[in-house]
A and B are shown apart, each in its own frame.
Chain A
Amino acid sequence: MAQNSFPSPISVNAEDLACERGGRPIFEGVSFSLSGGEVLAIIGPNGTGKSSLLRMIAGLLFPVAGSVTIKAGTQEEGFLHFLAYGDGLRSVFTVEENLKLWSRIYGGETGGEAIYDALEEVGLAHAMHLPARALSTGQRRRAGLARLVLSKRPVWLLDEPTSGLDRDGEAVLGGLMRTHLDAGGAIIAATHLTLPVPPTRTLELQ
């Protein structure tokens, strides 16, 4: 990974967020702020809304109250990467085709070599031309990580990033996270396990 600097300063600010699912309040009054080079870990037991908070930051859920602002220098849009249970891999397409599609949508690199390099970084280069249906759960997660490598985006939102990954996979994830932080990026991860990179901030949901 080359030294890649994102437009700075990077900041993620959440103010007084409240969440409601199916008429039941999940959390309220959640605030945090985060800048480039930092990792925020959202922790807490099941059902406290870790994923919901992450989805709210991603703009997939409307907050009942409060707001989220994400800034990266003068960049107008395209701040986020979202890595969750759904990896967006279509089983009839090869790993390469899948990654190429997401790179084109996310404005990343689409060349065969770049895709090969990214896959090599996550230990999946041998499967580049295989259809995605041939991949195991852990390999699908790795393909998802390759997506993050291909398109440079300043803020990563990771939902249970270590789930489905073996020890080696966790090491790969840790390496990618460190590279991203060194390049000035920010990471928000929701997890009930330990992250391969120690978080600089922790937000506990009750």
Chain B
Amino acid sequence: MNSLSDKEMQEILNGIMFNTTEQMANIKIKSDVGSLSQDVCTINTSFQGNCKATLSLLADKSFLLRLTQEIFQNENVSKQDIEDASIEYLNVICGRLVNKVFSLVHKPTKFDIPVFQNGSHILNEHTQYCCELYYVNNYNEGILLILEFSVLLNDNKK
């Protein structure tokens, strides 16, 4: 992360989020300030490599429902469909993030298969760097993207 400023990182993440959401589901989102509803789901993954990092995407369930309906081109979708679509959504975001960010500042890395959970679940509490970005679609349904770089255990001095 030393080679990228906060602004550069945010621009990269914004670009990835806007393009991926539109290309996958034909949904336009924009950066905003706000908060999610109480009814959210979380998709998490961890990156493996020289720098440990986690990416969490928390979203209003209504956003994920809409995303899934668009992806499967069907209004009638199941809970499993929503989970599968959400996981693939984060999968594509991560792939693009790896390509853009980690190739610039670190040796290229891989990430774990994303995990879907109901509710709000953030993976890391001890972070060296954290970027939180909030987005909404045209229906004011929100997404919170949290990118965290963990402090390595042997560097964690309290």
- The answer to whether A and B belong to the same complex is no
